[in-house]
Amino acid sequence: MMFSKLSKKSEIHSILVISLSNIGDIIAICPAIDVLLNDFPQARLSIVVGPKGRSVFEGNPNIDRVYIYDKHGSLRKKIDWFLALQRRRFDLVVDFRNSVMPFLLNTKYRTLPELFMPKNIHLTKKHLLRLRSIYDFEGKAASRKAIVISPKDRGHVDGLLAGYISSGARF
């Protein structure tokens, strides 16, 4: 299927999200990832990020696999990397990078290319619109699952803030 809509009842077992590379852009896709994780809890969600984005998603129990795309890698490494993706046979590819990858992966469902998206809107809203191009979701996700803060990281930050902000205070 080229660009068909899916529903919560669709048979989606594996999802690939293709992210942008910069940390701010990666954070802007998180609301769309939250929608997918909440609405398709049985599906395995994997994500493609550049090397800078690895730490955002690695260790997240809600993310099945993080694929690191290194644009500076050799052609052989890029081909092997792509073939590994192709072997996974994803049911849905959500491409926020506007690449040809969803077409090359020959997936059942894929997002529309960016040329069909409106211009001059906030990146987060643009990503949600892109997701809506294939899936009419209810609105904001019920819970946030795209970013998980480990107890170790939380403890480290609490230690840095100790003495400056009381425990549990908002800032």
Q: For 122-147, what is each residue's pLDDT tens digit? A: 888 888 888 888 888 887 777 889 88
Residue 157 Cα to chain centre, angstroms: 25
What's 51's DSSP letter?
A: G
pLDDT of residue 143: 82
Q: Is the pTM of this model over 0.95?
A: no
At 3, list the tokens: 């660009």
20, burial (CB in 10 Å: exposed 0-12, middle 13-18, buried 19+): buried
CB–CB of 47/17 below 8 Å? yes
- Bridge-based pairing of strands 14-18 and 65-68 is unpaired
Does 149 have pLDDT greater than 90?
no
- Poorest-confidence range of 38-42, 47-51, 166-170? 166-170
Q: How far apart are CA 105 and CA 127, in angstroms?
A: 21
At 135, list the tokens: 């899936």
pLDDT of residue 116: 65
